[in-house]
């Protein structure tokens, strides 16, 4: 019997073994313009998924929105349908010495979130798949992108632990940031660690390539026009790495 994913709403024949996991559904629509022979899966609950070809290799891209719980649902459903290789691409918050506009490759990710616990996280960083790290290093070099590789950390509480918009959270966010700096974290996001932890539990490969778009100290965010250029470069580098891994 053909397997079907409950929330994403696709069946096995609609997805590839190699998957890009993307937060923003609008980003998936823009990625579609860079793929050949695009198939759009019927969208469900904002989970937008497409499959197409890059350099002759079939890939799927699936948007999950924001946060570890739904990102791991997307990975889990696609892994259950036979996907084996997952690359998260998106934005991240920079800690020194990372500068805005740099491309960050996760070698490992440290879960400060709930979904990581659900998938057996012990509180220690979880490594990325070696093959994806190697291909990402090669790809960012081939594309001439400014990059670093190292430790990511992921959180659930964006406005509690990562970014303060209320006076009474400033001290907490600053303390979390100091702790991350002490632990050698390069960037923070909301999904890399739970995805790595779920991938380990499910026996599939995972990697993460993120652009640093927000400064964790000043809260400055990259402008939309610059982000559009960075996003195209992110797609190019990620697709080349994914099909080679
Ligand atoms: O650009 P994306 O991939 O959405 O990533 C980052 O931006 C969102 C908002 O914080 C979170 O999903 C976070 O991980
Ligand atoms: O988690 C993050 C990191 C960068 N930018 C965001 O909007 N969220």
CB within 8 Å of 113: residues ≥ 6 apart: 67, 68, 154, 155, 156, 190, 193, 194
Residue corresponding to tokens 């019997």: 1
Cα 111 to the center of its chain, rounded Å: 14
231 C-alpha vs ligand 2 centroid, how far in Å?
14
Q: Domain limits at 147?
A: 12-244
The reply to whether ligand 2 has any atom less than 6 angstroms from the CB of 189 is yes
Give, for all 245 residues of the chain, the pLDDT tens digit: 778 999 999 999 999 999 999 999 999 999 999 999 999 999 999 999 999 999 999 999 999 999 999 999 999 999 999 999 999 999 999 999 999 999 999 999 999 999 999 999 999 999 999 999 999 999 999 999 999 999 999 999 999 999 999 999 999 999 999 999 999 999 999 999 999 999 999 999 999 999 999 999 999 999 999 999 999 999 999 999 999 99
What pLDDT is attached to residue 45?
A: 92
Residue among 188, 199, 32 at smallest CA distance from 130 = 199
> How many residues would you count in the chain?
245
Domain-located, residue 170: yes
Q: How many domains does the chain have?
A: 1
Residue corresponding to tokens 């509480």: 157
Q: Is 218 helix (H, G, I), strand (E, B) or coil?
A: coil
Domain-located, residue 178: yes
- For residue 162, the ligand 1 atom closest to its alpha carbon is 10
Domain-located, residue 41: yes
- For residue 221, the ligand 2 atom closest to its alpha carbon is 5
C-alpha distances (whole Å) from 217 to each of 104, 164, 167, 180 are 18, 10, 15, 12
Domain-located, residue 163: yes
Closest residue CA from atom 3 of ligand 1: 90
Domain-located, residue 7: no
CA atoms of 219 and 163, how far apart (whole Å): 7
210 C-alpha vs ligand 1 centroid, how far in Å?
9
Q: What is the ipTM of this complex?
A: 0.95
Domain-located, residue 152: yes
- What's the CATH code of the domain at 104? 3.40.50.1580
Domain-located, residue 4: no
CB 210 within 8 A of CB 90: yes
99 C-alpha vs ligand 2 centroid, how far in Å?
14
What pLDDT is attached to residue 2?
A: 79
Q: Is the pTM of this model over 0.80?
A: yes
CB within 8 Å of 122: residues ≥ 6 apart: none
What pLDDT is attached to residue 88?
A: 99
What pLDDT is attached to residue 208?
A: 99
Domain-located, residue 5: no
Burial class of residue 182, CB neighbours in 10 A (0-12, 13-18, 19+): exposed
């Amino acid at each position: 019997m053909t397997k079907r994913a409950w929330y994403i709403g696709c069946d096995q024949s609609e997805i590839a073994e190699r998957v890009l996991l993307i937060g923003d559904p609008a980003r998936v629509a823009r990625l579609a313009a860079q793929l050949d022979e695009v198939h759009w899966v019927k969208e469900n609950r904002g989970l937008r998924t497409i499959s197409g070809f890059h350099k002759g290799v079939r890939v799927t891209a699936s948007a999950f929105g924001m946060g570890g719980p739904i990102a791991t649902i997307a990975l889990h459903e696609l892994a259950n349908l036979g996907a084996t290789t997952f690359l998260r691409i998106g934005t991240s918050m920079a800690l020194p010495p990372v500068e805005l506009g740099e491309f960050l490759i996760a070698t490992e990710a440290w879960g400060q979130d709930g979904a990581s616990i659900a998938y057996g996280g012990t509180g220690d960083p979880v490594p990325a798949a070696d093959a994806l790290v190697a291909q990402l290093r090669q790809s960012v070099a081939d594309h001439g992108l400014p990059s670093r590789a190292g430790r990511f950390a992921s959180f659930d509480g964006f406005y509690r632990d990562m970014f303060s918009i209320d006076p009474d959270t400033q001290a907490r966010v600053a303390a979390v940031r100091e702790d991350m700096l002490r632990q050698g974290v390069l960037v923070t996001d909301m999904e890399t660690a739970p995805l790595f932890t779920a991938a380990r539990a499910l026996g599939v490969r995972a990697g993460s390539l993120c652009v640093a778009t927000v400064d964790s100290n000043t809260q400055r965010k990259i402008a939309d026009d610059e982000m559009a250029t960075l996003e195209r470069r992110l797609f190019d580098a990620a697709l080349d790495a994914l099909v080679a891994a």
